[in-house]
């Protein structure tokens, strides 16, 4: 089963590129850029990855971003993630980045963007991995800051497909950013948002109604509202679920308690993703493996999740169909 999970063609739709910063690369970049870290070793960093909630993770996550300074740093970060994609047969990735985490430190937007985008282009040429960038606004910062970031991104909008909303969910409802998202859609960006991870089901409604999102990132709290579940199923609004993240951040107490299989049974368009894989203990294959083992998912369940990942992507119809055909050829060969 694990070989099947690794080899099946799949897309990843919920990956924070800064959250793929492995401790080894963190130390290498710290040394390259003469940045002092609050940890003496790689082992000490890994030992710190015990989180009580989303905020305790974010505190460490933002500390880690301090080592990212140059275009080459952002390239190396992205390239390391893309090498994992090759190993786990991720054929398409839609990648979140948090420019405010860097511009607030004095790193120019164009430096961040150039490193990320160059790596994505090189991976497409070398391995045929397609990808899109999704600019995320940090919801614990002001809507004014988000709007300024949106403005800063406009010269690059031909290379950034969508905008999203991440960081501390509680106390920062999606409606706080309605004007920013209205402007983003006017500029031609697609929209997604984190909602219903720690926040209530009401935040999912807000993301749909106030922000006009095409996808909900996380969304596992939707089951608190049967009307919402029915709406998500009818409209087939995808949920980008991140199982290992949900356990690591105490959204569920154990993987056996995770509601992913139940969401599938309810007819929702559920996908599996890695979120911040360095911090949460695994990339996309490890997330599939963990949820499969805990919930006894069948080969057909895994196929359905992989199929959902392409169907829920922002690929144009002909490319989406090409990836689905690739998936079906794989299934025909292994069944």
From the candidates 18, 22, 169, 197, which is the catalytic residue? 197
- Selection from 100, 74, 58 nearest residue 17 by Cα: 74
Q: What Rg value do the Cα atoms of the chain yield, rounded?
A: 19
197 is known as an active-site residue = yes
**Whole-number Cα distances in Å, 135 to 19, 150, 172, 197, 213:** 14, 9, 18, 19, 14
How big, in percent rounded to 5, are the helix, strand and coil portions of the chain?
Answer: 60, 15, 25
Angle at 122 between CA 159 and CA 116, to 5 degrees: 50
Angle at 160 between CA 219 and CA 141, to 5 degrees: 60
d(CA 114, CA 212): 28
Q: DSSP labels for 26-67? A: HHHHHHHHT---SSSSHHHHHHT---SSHHHHHHHHHHHGGG
**Whole-number Cα distances in Å, 323 to 11, 206, 271, 326:** 9, 32, 15, 5
| Active site members | 197
């Amino acid at each position: 089963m694990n070989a099947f999970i690794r080899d099946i063609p799949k897309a990843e739709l919920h990956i924070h590129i800064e959250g793929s910063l492995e401790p080894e690369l963190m130390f290498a970049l710290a040394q390259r850029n003469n940045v002092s870290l609050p940890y003496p070793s790689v082992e000490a960093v890994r030992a710190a990855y015990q989180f009580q909630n989303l905020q305790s993770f974010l505190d460490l996550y933002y500390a880690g971003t301090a080592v990212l300074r140059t275009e080459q740093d952002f390239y190396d970060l992205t390239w390391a993630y893309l090498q994992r994609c090759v190993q786990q047969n991720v054929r398409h990735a839609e990648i979140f980045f948090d420019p405010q985490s860097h511009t607030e430190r004095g790193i120019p937007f164009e430096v961040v963007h150039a490193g990320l985008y160059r790596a994505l282009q090189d991976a497409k040429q070398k391995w045929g991995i397609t990808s899109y960038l999704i600019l995320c606004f940090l919801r614990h910062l002001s809507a004014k800051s988000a709007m300024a970031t949106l403005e800063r991104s406009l010269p690059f909008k031909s290379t950034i497909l969508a905008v999203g909303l991440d960081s501390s969910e509680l106390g920062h409802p999606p409606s706080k950013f309605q004007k920013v998202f209205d402007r983003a859609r006017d500029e031609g960006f697609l929209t997604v948002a984190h909602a219903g991870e720690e926040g209530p089901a009401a935040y999912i409604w807000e993301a749909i109604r106030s922000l006009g999102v095409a996808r909900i990132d996380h969304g596992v709290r939707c089951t608190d509202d049967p009307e919402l579940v029915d709406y998500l199923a009818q409209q087939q609004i995808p949920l980008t679920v991140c199982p290992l993240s949900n356990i690591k951040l105490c959204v569920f107490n154990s993987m056996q308690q995770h509601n992913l299989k139940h969401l599938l049974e309810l007819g929702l368009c559920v996908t599996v993703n890695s979120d911040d894989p360095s911090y949460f203990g695994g990339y996309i294959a490890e997330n599939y493996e963990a949820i499969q083992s805990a919930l006894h998912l069948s080969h057909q369940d895994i196929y359905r999740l992989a199929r959902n990942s392409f169907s829920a992507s922002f690929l144009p119809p002909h490319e989406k169909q090409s990836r689905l055909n690739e998936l079906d050829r794989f299934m025909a060969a292994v069944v």
